[in-house]
Amino acid sequence: MDSKGAAAPAAAGGGGGGAGAGGVPATPAAPTPHPGGGAPTTTTTTPAIEEPTSCRECRRRRVKCDGTMPVCAVCTKYRRHCLYDKHSRTRLTRKQLTILETRLEKAEALLLSHFTETQLAEMMDGAAALPLGTRTPSPRSNAATGGAAAAPPPRASVDHPAPIQQQHMAPTPAPTQLNIGLEPPGTSSQDGSNRAYELAPSVADNFEWSEQDSSWSSAHGTGIMSSDEGRMPQAIMDGMASLSVGERRGYLGSASGVALLRQILSARREGDVSPQQLEQLFQQQSEQSQWFRAQSMLSRVAVENLIDAFFALYHPTFPIVHEPTFRAQYAGILPRQDKDKWNVLANILTALGSFVSSGSADATDLPIFQAVQKGLFADNLETGNLTLVQAFGLSANYLQKRNKPNTGYNYGGLALRLGIGLGLHKEFDSGNVSPLQMEIRRRVWWCLCVLDVGATISYGRPLNWPQAGVEATFPKNIHEKDLVSDSEDYPPEVDELTLYTYVRVQSAYHLITMNVYNRLITGTFPAAAELVSLDDQYIGSWLSQVPHYYQVFPPPGSAYSLGVGISQWRYRNLRIVMYRPFLVRWALSNAAAAATAQPSAAASSSSSSTESLAVFRCLDAAKESIASIEEYWNTRSHSRLAAWYVLYFLFHATLIPVHCLRHSPEHPFADDWRAQVQSSVAVMESMSELNTNSSKCRDISTC
């Protein structure tokens, strides 16, 4: 929205609702029904406090708005972005009353499916007695006791994906040094906690999305644009799903990166940041006009350099392509069984090599990928082979990194279906399949697991990965040179870092923690006791299996450092997602207590030890992530791929101390939180040339 179109926020007291300003003339309030069912009492309201009921778009265009929320009829008809001022009131008409009555009936039916009428009456009486602004959600029936059901044992280990029995870590005792101020047990609920992190679809868009970009479609290698003059700011679309707070971004669930950001923004105090500043934080100019410097055809030497960059910077983390085979085919030593499809794969490797080896100002990769994108679909959906699985899998990850998450999500689905169609999920006796061929199949399959499950969790969507019928074992922990095309037997596995250690460790993590993620995105949010139990049983089990040589960063210069870092940051990120509803509520309760100059509820009553533990685990996970990422970034060489993953996990972790400082700036932990934010901001500022979204994340963290 341009500056002329942005409506000024209504002043305190409600002025600006006159007809001359595009608003609706003030009218007396409608009769208010008596609670006891008697005659209604009529109260009148002076025009001075009536607030505008027109959306900003209708007021800007000076057209009559019907005030329907969330999207008015005019904006629905013309597919405009409908936005109301925060304190606008819905016009009291028969239509609006009917809508409210219908919603109330549905809400009552939903509550009655979880509580008895007696329980509801008691909760309503209790809620009515609380001062406005201090009410907490109603308790779940098992919130006080924890109600954690016995979960099945983990189904995979780092060594074997087949089901085995694992020992569980003992639950961490609740810290006793400091009372963090949670409400007493039974006064808080998780019903709706999950929903608070989700954005419901509006009537107009229904989670529709479009990632078509004119600059992509015109990026054929010739000069087209020389400046960004006249180009309108656009809402951010980021592959991390961490900044996409607006509509038309596809469904991003309660476990996605943007979920906590939505919660933090909705909990802001009035006046912290102006609406105009907040809107600008989530806008960006269309990306690089430098794209069009690229030549329409790269020289063979340039292509070889970019392929070398792919294998040096991308391949050590995601080894979905067998390098010796590919290089032999590129050199003409081995035949290319399907030349057209092999050429598509080679160009995708070239595009990725260009992406990971350059800065954000260089986008030579875009015309390369654009040139093969159409060829990727030409008759290829009517065939199936390993080359296509690799091509679609790599394209999915590339598109996510290029801020086209939904497009990449679709490509990833194609790769997974193609892989299943080729039976990559099955184990076969080594009859007609050589050890190298069988191992390549396993590597491709489990690389798909790492890529697909990781992306799906980033978006908070249900998992596509098959959770039954998979027999393929993890790739063997061997060095590439020890297994060649004429090997008749597998070499012995080694007890050290190899090219395939990350795929093994990360695949085992995903298989073991799928139950945790599925529980987070299904139904009402779990109680703290259930989450602590899931944490100890699944995440703790996985941690106990991580090889000793994978528990710390390898020496600087190792090509495997990024994989080690991602493994460490990902499990802590899951803990942040698990426990952040308790931390958010704790921070808000502390703020409410400070505002009323009263001690928090838990100061006068024993707090729930499991909820206290949940808050501490969230704080610890965020702090550990920030420290680990800072260590990695300050001691390792930087690449665009590393910058993407560093920013993804760093921003999620930083939002935790940011939220705490917003609401409890005088808390005993406040100095530590400030130090964490300062460390994060320093890392974000240092990667601006590798990741353009880092400046947005920095601004949000400090606004």
Q: Which residues of 224-256 are buried (b: 16+ CB within 10 A; e: fewer)?
A: ebeeeeeeeeebbbbbbbbbbbbbbbbbbbbbb
Between CA 612 and CA 163 the distance in angstroms is 33
Domain boundary among 465, 485, 520: 520
**379 lies in the same domain as 326:** yes
Q: Are 146 and 609 in contact (CB under 8 A)?
A: no
**370 lies in the same domain as 516:** yes
Task: Report the SS3 class of residue 140.
Answer: coil
**516 lies in the same domain as 545:** no
Q: Is 14 left (phi over 0), alpha (psi -120 to 50) or beta?
A: left
Answer whether residue 266 is part of any domain.
Answer: no
C-alpha distance across the termini of the chain, in Å: 21
**610 lies in the same domain as 574:** yes
**460 lies in the same domain as 490:** yes
Domain that holds residue 101: 94-122
**464 lies in the same domain as 548:** no
pLDDT, position 543: 97
* E strands present in 264-366: 283-284
Cα 349 from chain centroid (whole Å): 26
**357 lies in the same domain as 377:** yes
**573 lies in the same domain as 677:** yes
Q: Are 446 and 504 in contact (CB under 8 A)?
A: yes
pLDDT, position 513: 96
Domain boundary among 492, 520, 548: 520
Answer whether residue 143 is part of any domain.
Answer: no
Q: Provide the domain count of the chain.
A: 4
pLDDT, position 403: 87
**476 lies in the same domain as 582:** no
Answer whether residue 427 is part of any domain.
Answer: yes
Answer whether residue 151 is part of any domain.
Answer: no
Burial label for 99, CB within 10 Å (0-12, 13-18, 19+), is middle
**385 lies in the same domain as 498:** yes
Answer whether residue 406 is part of any domain.
Answer: yes
| Cis bond before residue 70 (omega within 30° of 0) | yes
pLDDT, position 213: 63
Domain boundary among 484, 503, 520: 520
pLDDT, position 54: 84
**486 lies in the same domain as 545:** no
Structure tokens at 343: 């050429």
pLDDT, position 292: 38
Answer whether residue 207 is part of any domain.
Answer: no
pLDDT along the chain (703 residues), means of 10: 40 38 39 42 41 77 85 85 68 77 81 68 57 41 39 54 39 37 38 48 53 47 36 54 58 68 61 47 45 55 95 98 96 90 94 93 89 79 91 96 91 96 88 90 97 92 92 96 92 97 98 95 91 96 96 94 97 96 85 55 53 95 98 95 96 93 89 96 94 87 78
**pTM of the predicted structure, to 2 decimals:** 0.69
Q: Which amino acid is at 556?
A: P
Q: Which CATH number characterizes residue 6's domain?
A: 4.10.240
**85 lies in the same domain as 100:** no
Answer whether residue 646 is part of any domain.
Answer: yes
Answer whether residue 139 is part of any domain.
Answer: no
